[in-house]
Structure 1
């Protein structure tokens, strides 16, 4: 989780009173592949950059938090998707509004699917999504498992671990997050991994995703602080030195994941 090279250690830090509200959607039902690690990465990197993270969660029946600055969500089994479906549809208009306001979001696996139009199971039943992303997902008998390496013009090499039987296809209004060079990604046909609409990112990559891909974490943070405070992340002080050599650990984790066979 190293700092971007362009950050200047001589630049002033923002006030610690500047709060960034990070909202995790459905952690009770959609957090079975370690996706809570994404929340931990955002919390720590916000602290390094001098902001005060306010970590929020939302489960069915909760009052939806006001003014979230970053939204994240994880993966879950079909049963978990069933449990949250009605509630997610109920807050769908709020999520659409936040997306159109360019609030940064990262949705992984199951919530990536439900941010699309629908997930159709192998038996032919459909779990409706909210359509923030122009994608459709179909359950299959083939499970896609293993490390993935993909290339992004914005984020460089994206590395993570996929484990899904749903295969997702992008519509005209969704751009792929990255182009797969090793692994499967969204499906077995088109070499796309994930999807994007405005600042909403969807991905199948667990592991968790953000510890091995700090460029994506910093995109979410940079977008949030620019929109809320007008701050430019590249003008802030570099993250404080961590107790562990995180640059080296991140690079090593990425190298090992990319080199392991599927």
Structure 2
């Protein structure tokens, strides 16, 4: 296992913080600590230049105005975009997912540029998706995912882009293929999802997948009291 400190870059916690998604960074750091691996969370607010050498980046959700600001902020920091597409691992939730795509269309019909890191596009739904969601995760070994979705975005994946999950109950991306609704995005280095909760607190296997990718070593599962019982109430 690694002995050097794993750095977790929490991007724009002052902007993308509507649903406590910043807690995902805390979950990652805590699970590393329990494994005996040193970890550091670097909070990068809107008035700072972002670090470009983190092992993991975390982006959270936000409302429309915050989302558009975050997209422009990300586009203005191309070195960070290159880091996200490089050797780092990234978790992007809700608005954080949308701004990594090619573009986003707002409720007025205007299209705004995203960072272009993911082959996805987002447009507004007619009805907001709100409520619990359960999916079958496409990441091997992770199993079912649960969370709370609250979004008006309908995200379409490019033909070569894999979903993070196939929806059992809930809405997800509003993007169907082969008869199943899909949720999120899954690449070798990026996990994008509409699941709040925070998602990693409710789905520790997904957290361990990210940590394994970031460290290059398999992270052992942890026996956290009441964790299984809590998940059983949602799955």
TM-score, normalization by structure 2:
0.91
Q: Can you give the 5+ residue segments of structure 2 that lack an aligned partner in the other structure?
A: none
Q: Residue deviations 1:123-169, cap 9 Å, x none?
A: 11123111111110001231101111111242210111100011101
Q: Residue deviations 1:172-206, cap 9 Å, x none?
A: 23100011111111116451010122210100000
Given the superposition, is the C-alpha separation of residues 14 and 199 from structure 1 closer, same or farther in structure 2, using an over 3 Å criterion? closer
Given the superposition, is the C-alpha separation of residues 107 and 79 from structure 1 closer, same or farther in structure 2, using an over 3 Å criterion? same
Q: Can you give the 5+ residue segments of structure 1 that lack an aligned partner in the other structure?
A: 1-12, 240-244
What's the RMSD between the two structures over aligned residues? 1.9
Question: Which aligned pairs between 1:30-179 and structure 2 lie closer than 5 A?
Answer: 30-101=16-87, 103-153=88-138, 154=140, 155-179=142-166
Q: 1:95 Cα deviation (Å)? A: 2.0
Question: Which structure would you say has the larger Rg?
Answer: 1
Question: How far apart, in 2, do the equivalents of 1:136 and 1:169 lie?
Answer: 5
Question: How far apart, in 1, do the equivalents of 2:168 and 2:206 lie?
Answer: 18
Question: How far apart, in 1, do the equivalents of 2:42 and 2:25 lie?
Answer: 10
Which residue, out of 202, 224, 229, partners 1:252? 229
TM-score, normalization by structure 1:
0.82
1:100–1:198: 8 Å Cα contact kept in structure 2?
A: no
Q: Per chain length, whose mean CA-contact separation is higher, i.e. which structure has more relative contact order (CA < 8 Å, sep 6+)? A: 1
User: Equivalent residue of 1:253, what SS?
Assistant: helix
User: Equivalent residue of 2:85, what SS?
Assistant: helix
Question: How far apart, in 2, do the equivalents of 1:142 and 1:117 lie?
Answer: 23
How many residues of Structure 1 are paired with residues of Structure 2 in the alignment? 230
- Does residue 233 of structure 1 match 2:211? no
Question: How far apart, in 1, do the equivalents of 2:230 and 2:78 lie?
Answer: 36
Structure with the larger helix share: 1
User: Equivalent residue of 2:101, what SS?
Assistant: coil
